[in-house]
Structure 1
Amino acid sequence: MTTTRFAPSPTGYIHVGNLRTALMNYLIARKAGGTFILRIDDTDPERLKEEYVDAIKQDLEWLGLHWDRVERQSERLDRYAEAADKLREMGRFYEAFETPTELDLKRKKQLNMGKPPVYDRAALNLSEAEKDALRAERGNGVWRFKLDHERIEWNDGILGDISIDAASVSDPVLIRGDGQVLYTIASVVDDTEMGVTDVVRGSDHVTNTATQIQIIEALGGNCPRFAHHSLLTGPQGEALSKRLGTLALRDLREQGVQPMALLSLMARLGSSDPVELRAEMAELIEGFDINRFGAAPTKFDVQDLFPLTAKHLQSLPLADVAEAVADAGVPADLAEPFWAMARENITTLADLKGWWELCRDGAEPLIADEDRDFIAEAIALLPEGPFDGETWGTWTKAVKEATGRKGKGLFMPLRKALTGMERGPEMAALLPLLQVIRVRG
């Protein structure tokens, strides 16, 4: 069975970069009728916050990315300890004691000599007495996985055939000096024991994947199918980072972005398929193909979400937005005609409030000097309310006959006088909703 996972660290809110990873793994699992695991990477107790765990779940639920089960790495520390013991017994795990400063000096020396800046394995030459002395002086060391210096190869679902020389990579640290288990080994143990078959993540993890493949093989596990999606950039190709708080999903939600607008964009961004607004998740699942994504950096412009949001809202019946219409202050008996009028003229649901204020309070008339007599004559012909869907047509016909005006010269001054705007909804739909008309002849 196909099994995928999304493994966020609860040290902040999910942003669009995280979403790309979550969505791809979700769509792969759902298309295959498989399992999607939400796996919380919470092995760092100093940085994690429980509020972020709740926020991650809230954001995924808002988008409709429903997981089949939740796993927490903090509850699996014994499994990682067993894996570490197994690697020690195999001679593939060793303790190293260099300080960050010493490691930095080594890297600089290697670079000056034209060599790759990888760890030189000096710790392998330490005697037990030397290790004891270093522990007494510096505390426990870090534990590194000893890579086999051979080529690590796999066929990547996006990048194609990958081949990395393990000798060009430092032996990865899997456990810190304070005992904290790092993601590299925790992920391997989890993927193996949970039967994860497919892993999609950012291209910045390619080197991690190479080392994890060797760890998986050392522990006797089966390697998942790996795919590394391109990293997102800004619209001008600039790097995106977590400092751009407006790209957190909860911030996008606050700005009025609709879930299907966001999902429709992210499910196609960076692929050879055009971005198309989809009405429901099933359409995204059916049309998803990881092999259609490219390796080049992918431009993301948050502004692209708003036309998609507007288009999505236009397709919705009143029942789907009834709460937002009521929150805008619209009386229940006017909700249906109000939504029919406003839906084509909003970008987000927050815009509803402005349209209802126009209907409820009227607008400051916008009248050019040359149109003042015309407007006075026209308003004198406006029948007493209540108005209906025929009133605008009947009225403008009478005004045309009385004044001789037609076309834009007829309709535009009337719109501006009644709404204070040059454009907006169909006046036949808006006029019956106007509770107050501030201009009178």
Structure 2
Amino acid sequence: MIVTRFAPSPTGHLHLGNLRAALFSWALARKAGGRFILRLDDTDPERSRPEFADSIRRDLEWLGLTWDEELRQSGRAERHREAAEALKAAGRLYPCFESEAELAARRRARRARGLPPVYDRAALRLSAEARAARAARTAPHWRFLLPDGQSGWTDAILGAQAIDLAHVSDPVLIRSDGVVLYTLASVVDDADLGITDVIRGADHVTNTAVQIALFRALGAEPPRFA
């Protein structure tokens, strides 16, 4: 069965790009006799607002884009933490301690050397003693260790896609305050809900490579992308 989702963040009103993704996701599910899920990605507690969630629902209803199930990501926080702990146990998450200023300086240094301005995995080179000393002073954020090589997939609209993961920073999945970020939460929810097809803007192509790596690290089959 085809299962699609529309996953807006209730941090503002919908715009035409959001509605286009919602329309195509809804139409694909309805044409195939499948299911269309509304998932409110409210993992940002500082910016998510109930009035924006209400506005999203009203806009979809006005357009006739009815959904078969609704859920909020914030209600699945424990499941997201379980997935994060599984990735830690598998050695796929590693703690980092750099400040924004330190990271910006490293990006400038890499550009000056003609290198991609991605995270240089300096935290992986810390000794156990140095790591413990940093952890005693500041809580770490946690990055996902991307695999080496290229990530390839077939986009239903753009065709064959390939991204060299050496040009992508290992993404931060857990903030220093323990909040699991959208990148991991979205993949966990897509896998648990059995999402078969994800329709998103072309600006998310690089994100797709990261998401595919996460699906596989969690032992889940990636959906089709368009």
Deviations 1:219-268 (A, max 9, x none): 110110001xxxxxxxxxxxxxxxxxxxxxxxxxxxxxxxxxxxxxxxxx
Q: Which runs of 5+ in 2 are unaligned?
A: none
Deviations 1:90-136 (A, max 9, x none): 11100111111111111111111111111110101223332232233
1:111 aligns with 111
2:59 aligns with 59
1:161 aligns with 160
- Partners of 2:68 and 2:155 lie apart in 1 by 26
1:32 aligns with 32
Residues 84-95 of structure 1 correspond to what in structure 2 (within 5 A)? 84-95=84-95
Residues 242-391 of structure 1 correspond to what in structure 2 (within 5 A)? none
- Partners of 1:195 and 1:106 lie apart in 2 by 39
1:97 to 2:92 alignment: no
More strand by share: 2
2:148 aligns with 149
User: Given residue 116 of structure 1, which amino acid in structure 2 is its aligned partner?
Assistant: P
2:185 aligns with 186
Structure having greater relative contact order (Cα 8 Å, sep ≥ 6) = 2
How does the TM-score come out when normalised to structure 2? 0.97
1:221 aligns with 220
More helix by share: 1
1:299 aligns with none
Deviations 1:273-306 (A, max 9, x none): xxxxxxxxxxxxxxxxxxxxxxxxxxxxxxxxxx
1:176 aligns with 175
* 1:167 Cα deviation after fit: 1.1
2:129 aligns with 129
- Partners of 2:132 and 2:91 lie apart in 1 by 19
What is the DSSP-based 3-state SS (H/G/I as helix, E as strand, rest coil) of the residue aligned with 1:162? strand
User: Given residue 63 of structure 1, which amino acid in structure 2 is its aligned partner?
Assistant: L
- Partners of 2:72 and 2:129 lie apart in 1 by 38
How big is the alpha-carbon RMSD for the aligned residues of Structure 1 and Structure 2? 1.0
* 1:71 Cα deviation after fit: 1.0
Q: Which runs of 5+ in 1 are unaligned?
A: 228-441
Q: Is the deviation greater in 10-19 or in 128-137?
A: 128-137
What is the DSSP-based 3-state SS (H/G/I as helix, E as strand, rest coil) of the residue aligned with 2:200? strand
- Number of residue-to-residue matches in the alignment: 226
User: Given residue 173 of structure 2, which amino acid in structure 1 is its aligned partner?
Assistant: L
How does the TM-score come out when normalised to structure 1? 0.50
Spell out structure 1 runs of 4+ moving beyond 3 A: none
1:206 aligns with 205
Between structure 1 and structure 2, the one with the greater Rg is 1
1:8 aligns with 8
- Partners of 1:50 and 1:129 lie apart in 2 by 45
